[in-house]
Amino acid sequence: MTLSGADFRATNLTFANLFDEAAHPEIANRQAVAVLTRADRLIFDRVRFLANQDTLYVNSTAAGVIARSYFRDCYVEGDVDFIFGRGTGVFARCHIHSLNRGSTPNGYVTAPSTDITTPHGLLFSRCRLTSDAPAGTVFLGRPWHPSNDPNAIGQTLIRESWIGDHIGATAWSDFGTWPWRDARLAEYRNYGPGALHGDDRPQLTRAEAAENEITDFLGDWKVC
């Protein structure tokens, strides 16, 4: 489903792409987008997004165009880059579930492609990140550069969220030749068995966290 109209709201719905990648190994390109957002001020309340690879495409009409989506008490399920794009997406109290692909790595939760002129990308606040995959086989994300766009400096921030042990000590991954350390990837006060600390787990400072609240991502949009 593609959403191109502003001020859309969905409540108590399920969006699913039911392509079964395990049953069709002969298909090389296995993306299975359930929802593509392109517009500004989209609200999803208690909505489920189900697919495998590329489940939820949080996008905009063009690079540098602000397109905000607010996900509240939602459930998102997938495996490879299953929350991705250049749009601004706020996930509040959501359940983010990584499927077990039976491989290593088992997948990547996010693949942001936020334009360098866009101040805010993907924010996960007070969410729960779970998986049935073995410990340490899933990454929180990797920076996507569509068509090798050097200005796609992706942002994923995960704060005050519970993280399962499917996430290992190195939580972020390079994307081809694009290093994850050049992107805007960080955490803040997460907890749970997968909320580890170290050189490969960048953390926001208290001052940086104060400038990256939900209200900062939404800007002048007052969500009700």
Give the pLDDT confidence score for residue 102 in this predicted structure: 87
Cβ-Cβ contacts under 8 Å for 7 (sequence gap 6 or more): 39, 41, 42
209 burial (CB, 10 Å; 0-12 / 13-18 / 19+) is middle
* Tally of domains in the chain: 1
Residue 206's CB: how many other CB atoms inside 10 A? 8
Neighbours of 201 (CB within 10 A): 19
Q: Does some domain include residue 158?
A: yes
Q: What are phi and psi of 208, to 5 degrees?
A: -65, -40
In a domain, 223, yes or no: no
DSSP letters spanning 63-120: TT---EEEEES-EEEESEEEEEESSEEEEES-EEEE---SSSS-EEEEEE--BTT-S-
* 68 occurs within a structural domain: yes
The reply to whether 222 falls in a domain is: no
pLDDT at 20: 80
Distances from the Cα of 74 to the Cα of 93, 95, 204, 206, angstroms: 7, 6, 25, 27
pLDDT at 27: 78
Q: What is the pLDDT of residue 26?
A: 80
CA dist., res. 53 & res. 221, Å (int) = 30
Looking at the domain assignment, is residue 224 inside a domain? Answer: no
State how far the Cα of 117 lies from the Cα of 7, in Å rounded to an integer: 23
Neighbours of 57 (CB within 10 A): 21
Classify residue 54 by its DSSP letter: T
Q: Considering only CA atoms, give the Rg of the chain.
A: 16
Active-site annotation, residues: 54, 81
Residue 26 belongs to a domain:
yes
Alpha-carbon dihedral sign for residues 129, 181, 81, 90? positive
pLDDT of residue 149: 97
Range of the domain at 113: 2-7+17-217
Is the distance from CB of 82 to CB of 76 less than 8 angstroms? Answer: yes
Can you give the CATH number for the domain in which 21 is found? 2.160.20.10
Other residues' Cβ atoms within 10 Å of the Cβ of residue 214: 16
Tens place of pLDDT per residue across the chain (224 aa): 999 999 999 999 999 999 887 778 787 767 889 999 999 999 999 999 999 999 999 999 999 999 999 999 999 999 999 999 999 999 999 999 999 988 889 999 999 999 999 999 999 999 999 999 999 999 999 999 999 999 999 999 999 999 999 999 999 999 999 999 999 999 999 999 999 999 999 999 999 999 999 999 999 999 87
